[in-house]
A and B are shown apart, each in its own frame.
Chain A
Amino acid sequence: MTDVNSPDFLKSYRDATLVKKVITQIHQRITQPWTLMEICGGQTHAIMQFGLDQLLPKEIELVHGPGCPVCVTALELIDQALWIARQPEVIFTSFGDMLRVPGSEGDLFSVRAFSGQVRVVYSPLDAVKIADDHPDREVVFFAIGFETTAPANAMAVIQAKKLGLKNFSILPANVLVPPAMHAILANPKNRIQGFLAAGHVCAVMGYWEYPPIAEKYQTPIVVTGFEPLDLVNGILKTITLLEEGQVSVVNAYPRVVTYQGNQAAQTLIKKVFKSVDRNWRGIGTIPKSGFGLQDAYQEFDASKRFDIGKIKTEESEICIAGQILQGLKKPSQCPAFGTLCTPETPLGAPMVSSEGACAAYYRYGRN
């Protein structure tokens, strides 16, 4: 809601004049090259959509991080999702983002076309409603997302339990940001000097987890929002910290984010989920980097409810998604970029999601 009708305290975050003034300050402040990572796919999308990267000083290299759950959801999980979706008694529900992510063989979109019932939902609670409306079918929800989506996914399970639904389950696939940041920064090839932290993840979780990370890796972290003014403000603050040699965590999104975060959300998440090791597509297993269901809610785990059996999981050999997601390579450095791999014929997830680094580059960056 940032149009002519929206109130000033919201629509000003798209004010072109103010955005340009902040960018001018970035130009004034910067004296040397810096490499920053924006961890959130939504931020990548916004930067590309408004062309903000074209206005920044050349000294700033913006690396697009693995902040796109679509891109990092493990291939095995996608293959499990495809297997479940193909079962005749199943209505498979998912956010739209996941429909075209390639599994080892096909994607959810092709399952929908060919045989299965695959339905796009805007909210996990809509999936619960579908289960309630179709007691004769097994309704499975693909619970992807970062901590931002975890409360909604948890609520779906709680609601299903409240309603006494026996035909609803989720395929747990949530991933967590701080372990990913650790993994990126701990990599000996890491080039990231400053982080724009994901504003909406922090709205839920707060940013109390970040000072130890900043300290350990001597990397400033700035909690950043998604509007153009938020993004340039986040970048300005990060550059300022870097230029002054300061390692700290700053909240540049105070209208939604507090240090402790949303306690009620965190309680809800802990009630339903527990931390588990998770395999990140293209990166590998990161310990305690995902959410699985607590014992009390095991009955809602689709991976246990269905006898999935052995699935042959095969990643494309050409796709270098892992290196791109960690910021080690740019999409333009991939031999298949724009030729074998396009949004119509994606080889890997970052080309599918509109936030994926490769899709963003393809759509917005080929000037």
Chain B
Amino acid sequence: MCLGIPGKILSIYEDHGTKMAKIDFGGVSREVCIEIIPEAKPGDWTVVHAGFALNLLSEKDAQETLNILREMSELAEQEENIHRD
């Protein structure tokens, strides 16, 4: 129910008193309402759904999750090799 895709904030402005941003999704840009992420700044990442930014996207957390999964996979592989030997 939630087609949300990540995008990078290029610029922030106001439209009739509503906080908006121009967001780049990788060569495609769109005007998005960022009223619920008031702390956002240009350069931040966010997830956008129906023309609305839902939350900031943390690059740090994204990387951490990847690191953990990569480590776990390596450990699992090592265990597998030990069992085989």
Q: Answer whether A and B touch in the complex at a CB cut-off of 8 Å.
A: yes
> B2 at the A/B interface (Cβ < 8 Å)?
yes
State which residues 90-106 of A face B: CB under 8 Å.
95
Interface string of A13-45 (1 = CB under 8 A from B): 100001001101100100000000000111000
For B47, list chain A residues within 8 Å (CB): 200, 203, 256
A-B interface pairs (CB < 8 A), number: 151
The answer to whether A233 touches B69, judged by C-beta atoms less than 8 angstroms apart, is yes
* Cβ–Cβ contact B49 & A148, under 8 A: yes
A158 to chain B, nearest CB (A): 8
A22, A67, A254: the one within 8 Å of B1 (CB): A67
Q: Tell me, rounded to whole Å, the shortest Cβ–Cβ distance linking A148 to chain B.
A: 4
Contacts A124-B50, A200-B47, A265-B54 given; indicate if A255 touches B1 (C-beta within 8 A): no
Contact with B along A240-264 (1 / 0, CB 8 A): 0000000000001011111001101
Contacts of A95 in B (CB 8 A): 50
Q: Is A207 an interface residue (CB 8 A)?
A: no
Q: How many residues from B make CB contacts under 8 Å with A?
A: 41
Assess A22 versus B16: contact at CB under 8 Å? Given A9-B59, A126-B51, A149-B50. no
What is the minimal beta-carbon distance from B50 to any residue of chain A, in angstroms?
A: 5
Cβ of A155 and Cβ of B4 under 8 Å apart?
no
A159 touches which of B1, B18, B36, B54 (Cβ 8 Å): B18
- Chain A residues positioned under 8 Å from B59 (CB to CB): 7, 9, 255
The residues of B that contact A12 with a CB separation of less than 8 Å are 66
Question: Which secondary structure characterizes the binding site on chain B?
Answer: mixed
Most buried by A among B58, B64, B80: B58
Bound-complex Cα distance A69 to B62 (A): 28
State how many angstroms separate the Cβ of B81 from the closest Cβ of chain A: 12
With an 8 Å Cβ cutoff, the count of chain A residues facing the other chain is 59
0/1 per residue, B8-24, Cβ < 8 Å to A?
00000000111000000
In the complex, what distance in Å separates the CA atom of A254 from the CA atom of B50?
A: 21
Contact across chains for B27 and A5 when beta carbons are under 8 A apart: yes
A159 to B51 Cα, complex, angstroms: 14
- Docked Cα-Cα span, A151 to B7, in Å, equals 18
A interface, CB within 8 angstroms of B = 1-3, 5-7, 9-10, 12-13, 18, 21-22, 24-25, 28, 40-42, 67-69, 95, 122-126, 145-146, 148-149, 151-152, 155, 159, 162-163, 198-201, 203-204, 226, 229, 233, 252, 254-258, 261-262, 264-265, 268, 355
Pairs A–B under 8 Å by Cβ, sample size 24: A10-B62, A12-B66, A13-B62, A18-B70, A18-B73, A21-B73, A21-B76, A22-B69, A24-B73, A25-B76, A123-B50, A125-B33, A126-B51, A151-B35, A152-B49, A162-B17, A198-B1, A200-B1, A200-B49, A252-B65, A254-B61, A255-B58, A255-B61, A262-B54
Besides A10-B6, A28-B76, A40-B2, 12 more A-B contacts (Cβ < 8 Å) are: A18-B73, A21-B69, A95-B50, A151-B52, A162-B18, A200-B2, A200-B4, A254-B65, A262-B54, A262-B55, A265-B55, A268-B35
